[in-house]
Structure 1
Amino acid sequence: MTITMIYHITTRANWEKQADEPLYEADSLHTEGFIHLSTAEQVPGVLERYYHDVPDLLVLHVDPNKLTGDLRYEAATNNEHFPHLYAVLNKDAVVTVEPVTPTLQLR
C-alpha cells in the first residue's frame, strides 16, 4: 500500500521549542482552529506565498494514516483543496523532519 505523505512547514525554533512534547501545536491551531498542511505539489507555492524570506524552515513529513485528529481537505481561496488538521499533531505521525533547501524534493 502506498502512503501519500502530507507536509507541514514550520520554523526550526518552533519545532525545537516543542521537542520534548509528544504533540505539536502550530500557532494556527489557536488562531484558526486547525493546523495547515499541504500535499507535495502544494509545498512550493506555500513556501513562496507565505515563507518567502523566512529563514531556517523545516518541513514535517506527516503520514496521514497515523494521525489521531480530524483531517479534512478543504477549499482555500484559490479553490485548491488543502489538508487541515483540526487537532494537535501527534508526533508519531511525523516520519521525517527535513530542512527546507532550494533543492527540496518531496514525493
Structure 2
Amino acid sequence: MPIIYHITTLPEWDQARENGAYEAISLKEEGFIHCAQENQVAGVLERYFSGKKDLVKLTIDTDKLTSNLVYDWSPSTQDTFPHIYGALNLDAVVTTERLN
C-alpha cells in the first residue's frame, strides 16, 4: 500500500465529504492536486501553510486512487512530488489527522 499525503483545511475536507469527492483549488487552477511523500510533509507545511489554522493531513492509499497519480519534478525544490490528476475519491483516504 504506497502512501502519499495531502494537506488541506478542515472546512475544505468537510465540504469534500459532503460532495463525495475532494477537489482542491489547484485541480481547477493547475490541473492536479498537490501531494507529498512522508519526508516532504514538513517542508510543505513550512512553505505553504505557516501560520494557517484548521489544517488536516490526509493519508492516501495510492492503490485505491481512481484518478491518475504522476510524480512530477519541482524545479523550485529540486525534488519529485506526487500529483493527483483528477478528483480524490474519498475511499482512498485511509486516515485524517488534525494538525493544529
With normalisation by structure 2, the TM-score equals: 0.94
Q: What does residue 72 of structure 1 align with?
A: 70
Partner of 2:56: 58
**Percent identity, aligned pairs only?**
46
Deviation track 1:1-49 (CA, whole Å, cap 9, x = no partner) reads xx23100000001111222222110000001110000001000000001
Gaps (5+ residues) in structure 2? none
Alignment of 1:44-55 (within 5 A): 44-55=42-53
Cα distance in 2, alignment partners of residues 85 and 16 from structure 1: 19
Mean Cα deviation higher: 89-98 or 17-26: 17-26
More helix by share: 2
Alignment of 1:18-97 (within 5 A): 18-76=16-74, 77-97=76-96
TM-score by length of 1: 0.88
CA contact (8 A) 2:65 2:92 kept: yes
Counterpart amino acid of residue 45 in structure 2: L
Counting strand residues as a fraction of each chain, which structure ranks higher? Answer: 2
Aligned counterpart, 2:15: 17
Task: Report how many aligned residue pairs link the two structures.
Answer: 99
Question: Gaps spanning 5+ residues in structure 1: where?
Answer: 102-107
Runs of 4+ in 1 over 6 A off after TM superposition: none
Aligned counterparts of 1:74 and 1:28: Cα–Cα separation in 2: 15
RMSD after superposition:
0.9
Indicate the SS of the match to 2:11.
Answer: helix
